[in-house]
Every structure is written in C-alpha cells, then in structure tokens.
C-alpha cells in the first residue's frame, strides 16, 4: 500500500515537473454579441423608463402633499405651470423629452379618462407616457381584467416603437422584466 502511494506521488511529481500534465479548462460560452442598434435602443428605453418613474414619483409626492396632481393634459414644455408645480421641490429638473426626443405626455385627474382605454380616473390619478422610437401613439388599450397584458418581450427593433405608459406608479405598457 505504501509503495502504491509513493509511486503515485512520484508519478505526479514527474508529470508536473516536465509539463506533462495540462489542466484542462472548461470552455466557457462567449456571450452573444448584440446588435449595436439594439444596444442603443435599449439604453434609450431604459433612460426613458427611468425618467417616467422619476416624473411619476414627483407626481405621487405632490399628490401626497396637495391631494391632487397639478393640472396637465398632454405634452408640456418649460413654461407651463405643471413644471413650476413640480420643479425644483419634487424633482430638481423635470424631464421634458424622452430618450428619442419626444415630448413626455402627462394626463392628470379627469384628463386620464379615455387615454389608452383607462376609465374611472379620479381627481388624484395620473398617467405618464412616451410614444417610443417611432414617435407615434400606439393603438393600445388597457385591460383592467388582465393588467399584465400590456407587458411585452423585446424581440426586435420594432418593439421599441411601443409606447411606455405608467398609470399611478404602475407600468401598464412596458417591456417585461427578465427573471434571473
């Protein structure tokens, strides 16, 4: 038994010292190179979604303090009372344009009714929208019986044409988050 152990140890030393043993490395799959256009579109979409969430948070904080959001019905620009109501107290710089250069659209209170199939909006409701890459309003209708129906998978560049819509802090139209 001792002889076998010594012989095995000697063999290992010889092989290691002569370079006769090479440790094999498992082949690690290389990540698939993503199309640069898709990468850029994803960045713009993430940026836009982050800004929509920021606008929504500012509106929610405003509603907490004032009971209702400031009046707004569609796109806004730097001169509107809407921005003056939210900035700089609720958000330092209120974004005006999304990642594709489109104006954000905000509908507050009764102005939410009828937008994307939303109904029953009260005085404290609000919707924040980006038209996406194609700068056109999508023909999307919210289904209150299936609120997750507006979430989608990114499968091609055309999916970035879809609108991004947040209603009272919940995404009703946006890409589905990936599970890890």
The answer to whether 126 touches 85, Cβ cutoff 8 Å, is: no
Q: What is residue 27's predicted lDDT score, i.e. its pLDDT? A: 52
Mean pLDDT along residues 115-144: 94
Domain boundaries, the chain: 34-175
Q: What is residue 42's predicted lDDT score, i.e. its pLDDT? A: 93
Model confidence over 10-61: pLDDT tens digits? Answer: 444 444 454 554 444 555 444 445 788 888 999 999 999 999 999 999 999 9
85 pLDDT more than 50: yes
- Top pLDDT among 127 and 178 is at 127
Q: What is residue 105's predicted lDDT score, i.e. its pLDDT? A: 96
Mean pLDDT along residues 133-156: 93
- Top pLDDT among 143 and 178 is at 143
Q: What is residue 26's predicted lDDT score, i.e. its pLDDT? A: 52
Residue 171: which residues within 8 A CB-CB, separation 6 or more? 150, 151, 164, 165
Rounded to whole angstroms, how far apart are CA atoms 178 and 44? Answer: 18
Model confidence over 93-105: pLDDT tens digits? Answer: 999 999 999 999 9
Which range is least confidently modeled, 6-10, 47-51, 84-88, 164-168? 6-10
Q: What is residue 72's predicted lDDT score, i.e. its pLDDT? A: 94
Residues written for the chain: 180
The answer to whether 124 touches 152, Cβ cutoff 8 Å, is: no
Q: Which two tokens stand for residue 112?
A: 């939410």
Going by the DSSP 8-state scheme, the letter that residue 113 receives in this structure is T
| Residue 109 neighbours by CB distance under 10 Å | 18
Rounded to whole angstroms, how far apart are CA atoms 113 and 120? Answer: 6
> Residue 127: beta bridge partners?
107, 167
Where residue 110 falls among pLDDT bands split at 50, 70, 90?
very high
- Top pLDDT among 30 and 159 is at 159
Q: What is residue 78's predicted lDDT score, i.e. its pLDDT? A: 72
Q: What is residue 33's predicted lDDT score, i.e. its pLDDT? A: 57
| The domain over range 34-175 is classified in CATH as 3.30.700 | yes
The answer to whether 122 touches 98, Cβ cutoff 8 Å, is: no
pTM > 0.85:
no
């Amino acid at each position: 038994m001792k002889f076998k152990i010594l012989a095995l140890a000697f063999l290992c030393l010889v092989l290691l010292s002569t370079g006769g043993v090479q440790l094999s490395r498992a082949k690690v799959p290389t990540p698939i190179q993503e199309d640069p256009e898709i990468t850029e579109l994803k960045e713009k979409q993430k940026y836009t979604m982050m800004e929509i969430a920021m606008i929504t948070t500012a509106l929610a904080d405003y509603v907490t303090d004032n009971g209702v959001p400031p009046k707004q019905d569609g796109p806004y620009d730097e001169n509107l009372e809407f921005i003056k109501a939210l900035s700089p107290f609720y958000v330092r710089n209120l974004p005006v344009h999304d990642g594709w250069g489109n104006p954000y659209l905000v509908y507050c209170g009764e102005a939410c009714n009828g937008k994307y199939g939303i109904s029953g909006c009260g005085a404290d409701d609000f919707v924040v929208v980006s038209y996406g890459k194609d700068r056109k309003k999508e023909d999307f209708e919210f289904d209150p019986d299936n609120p997750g129906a507006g979430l989608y998978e990114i499968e091609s560049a055309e999916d970035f044409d879809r609108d991004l819509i947040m209603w009272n802090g919940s995404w009703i139209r946006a890409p589905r988050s990936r599970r890890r």
